[in-house]
Chains A and B, each alone.
Chain A
Amino acid sequence: QSVLTQPPSVSGAPGQRVTISCTGSSSNIGAGYDVHWYQQLPGTAPKLLIYGNSNRPSGVPHRFSGSKSGTSASLAITGLQAEDEADYYCQSYDTSLSGSGVFGGGTKVTVL
């Protein structure tokens, strides 16, 4: 069971908005650690999508956005496109564990 909790799947029609939640606790997200988001297309390595809770690396479309509040974070995809069908992972840090990153269990986004 992952330290960060994500829904296993979300779906939406093209053009719709979907959100993915990432729920943590006072020892990780709630402790003030940043949340990062990754996109993993089938058969490929993960790609950094959002860093520092809400920032997009260059080249990431504006339809991807992130936010954080309290012990949770969210990734939103507005104007869903077929190429957005992928697995999405949140990542943060945890004071109760030995060191560095902790990941959410991942969310499969399906474009209907």
Chain B
Amino acid sequence: EMQLLESGGGLVQPGGSLRLSCGASGFTFSSYAMSWVRQAPGKGLEWVSTLSGRGGNSYYADSVKGRFTISRDNSKNTLYLQMNSLRAEDTAIYYCAQDSPAYGDAFDIWGQGTMVTVSS
């Protein structure tokens, strides 16, 4: 069974940093682009970032560009999101998701999410 499990969320002060992890199992991790999608409390989904399977191409939403860095370690089947200069508006549940070529690059597999709270 294909699974994703996020970790690393928590409470951080404005201006602080946090690194999220997403562990994958049940599929050949390096064959898939992976993405982060977030959801602020009571709000809709917002795409954050995508990284290609081998890690050579990355994309970011304008709202996080220059502050967040997506990376992956294919030997550990793990996706990361390094978040710096955090702001209150970054408070959200962060989901990792698999981009599935079989489904037109839709986000097929999702983790359960990890909560990030930016507050003093």
Contacts and interface: CB of A to CB of B under 8 A. Distances in A.
A46 B65 CA distance: 24
Interface string B5-27: 00000000000000000000000
Contact of A48 (B44, B45, B47, B103): B103
Interface stretch (B73-81, B82-90, B106-114): B106-114
Interface in B29-60: 35, 37, 44-47, 49-50, 59-60
A36 B107 contact: yes
A61 interface: no
Given A45-B112, A46-B95, A103 B103 contact: no
Q: For the side of the interface on A, what is the size category? A: 20 to 34
B32 to A, nearest CB: 14
Interface residues of B, number: 25
Interface in A26-74: 34, 36, 38, 40, 45-48, 51-52, 55, 57
A13 interface: no
Contacts of B44: 2, 87, 89, 103-106
B14 to A, nearest CB: 24
A21 to B, nearest CB: 15
Q: Which 9 A-B pairs have the closest CB atoms?
A: A99-B59, A101-B47, A36-B106, A51-B103, A52-B104, A106-B44, A51-B106, A45-B110, A100-B50
